[in-house]
């Protein structure tokens, strides 16, 4: 991806997996409101990405990573600090 990725005010399941992002990745105001969640649906999944910028998450259900780690050249902050 040439540019940044922003996931904002989403109420469903989101998986960002195996991408190369040439910019920032931000996740904010994201909640899951599925009546019957899919497997691993309680949070956003961010895994196996190469991010050439910052990874920041705030005001959201904590994202998960149950796969390969992310590579981030910038800073990791907020609820994405451990990803």
Q: Read off the pTM.
A: 0.82
What band does 58 get if pLDDT is binned at 50, 70 and 90? confident
The predicted-structure confidence for 61-80, as pLDDT tens digits, reads as follows 778 888 899 999 999 999 89
List the chain domain ranges.
Answer: 5-78
Tell me if residue 47 falls in helix, strand or coil.
strand
The predicted-structure confidence for 6-42, as pLDDT tens digits, reads as follows 988 887 778 899 999 999 999 887 666 555 556 655 5
d(CA 62, CA 80) in angstroms, rounded, equals 8
d(CA 74, CA 51) in angstroms, rounded, equals 8
d(CA 80, CA 78) in angstroms, rounded, equals 5
């Amino acid at each position: 991806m040439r540019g940044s990725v922003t996931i904002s005010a989403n109420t469903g399941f989101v998986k960002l997996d195996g991408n190369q992002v040439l910019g920032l990745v931000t996740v904010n105001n994201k909640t899951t409101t599925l009546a019957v969640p899919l497997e691993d649906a309680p949070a956003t999944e961010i895994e196996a990405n190469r991010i050439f910028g910052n990874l920041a998450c705030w005001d959201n259900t904590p994202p998960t990573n149950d796969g390969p780690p992310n590579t981030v050249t910038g800073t990791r902050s907020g609820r994405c600090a451990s990803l």
